Amino acid sequence: MSLDTHKRDFSINARLPGISALAAGIGALSTLAAFVLLNLIHLFTNLFFFREFSFADRSPALNTLGIWVVIIPVIGGLIVGLMARYGSEKIRGHGIPEAIEAILFGKSRMLPKVAILKPLSSGIVIGSGGPFGAEGPIIMTGGALGSLIA
């Protein structure tokens, strides 16, 4: 028995350089998507809490809304609820379980609109004070971009 027969999926063939270049391109696109998402979070934070169109990184704790600040996350949640109802259910959740579900049950395929709606909805929720982080949406968006290219 040859030593090469034990390599199975780890063997090198002529497709490896092309697949590696494709993976690097998807990584670069995902990095760009992460940058866009973080700027969307900054934009929506400034729109919701400071009523100005700015991409500056500001803390919502510095707002001057007084007691009315408690309705800001509710407004953000309602906007994203409408997006999930009429856009795509895939934007619900924080991203990581949805990405795993797409891999396991959906043959690693995601809809193209998820690549747009997920960062937008995440920017609104996080920017309005929702209790989420940017990591899950970045993973979901990167997975959607990779699925589009694949």
- What pLDDT does 45 receive? 94
Identify whether 129 is part of a domain.
yes
Question: Residue 44 sits in which domain range?
Answer: 17-57+71-149
What value does the mean pLDDT take over residues 88-111? 69
- What pLDDT does 5 receive? 59
Q: Of 3-12, 69-78, 83-92, 122-131, where does the model show the most confidence?
A: 69-78
Long-range contact pairs involving 70-77 (C-beta distance under 8 Å, separation at least 24): 72/48, 72/128, 72/129, 73/128, 73/129, 73/130, 75/48, 75/128, 76/44, 76/48, 76/124, 76/125, 76/127, 76/128, 76/129, 76/130, 77/125, 77/128, 77/130
Identify whether 37 is part of a domain.
yes
Identify whether 100 is part of a domain.
yes
The helix-helix angle for 112-127 and 72-86 (nearest 10°) equals 170
Identify whether 106 is part of a domain.
yes
Cα gap 63→46, rounded to integer Å: 9
- pTM score, two decimals? 0.77
Number of structural domains the chain divides into: 1
Identify whether 81 is part of a domain.
yes
15-74 pLDDT, tens digit per residue, is: 889 989 998 998 998 899 889 989 999 999 999 999 999 999 999 988 989 999 999 999
